[in-house]
Amino acid sequence: MNLKRTFGAVLTVLGIVGLIYTAVSFVQHSADVRTAIVIGVLGVIFFFTGISLVRTTKDEA
């Protein structure tokens, strides 16, 4: 497996975790709004960067 694809998968998982944390904190009103927005934006960036790396990297045997 290519290193870029592995890194893309890790970034995708981190993005999903960030988005889930943001959604839960907004629903429960448990976190500071500024912190939740920052984590949400970073989650979106990580998610789309990871998806892009996985999609554009070719498999080489």
Total number of domains in the chain: 1
Q: Is residue 8 part of a domain?
A: yes
Q: Is residue 28 part of a domain?
A: yes
Q: Is residue 11 part of a domain?
A: yes
- C-alpha to C-alpha distance for 48 and 57, rounded to whole angstroms: 14
Cβ atoms of 47 and 15 within 8 Å: the answer is yes
Query: Where does the chain have alpha helices with state H?
Result: 3-28, 33-56
Q: Please give the residue range of the domain that contains residue 8.
A: 3-54
Tens-place pLDDT, residues 25-52: 989 887 788 988 999 999 999 999 999 9
Q: Is residue 60 part of a domain?
A: no
Q: Is residue 19 part of a domain?
A: yes
Quote the pLDDT of residue 33: 86
- C-alpha to C-alpha distance for 6 and 28, rounded to whole angstroms: 33
Q: Is residue 14 part of a domain?
A: yes
Cβ atoms of 15 and 46 within 8 Å: the answer is yes
Cβ atoms of 6 and 50 within 8 Å: the answer is no
pTM of the predicted model as reported, rounded to 2 decimal places? 0.85
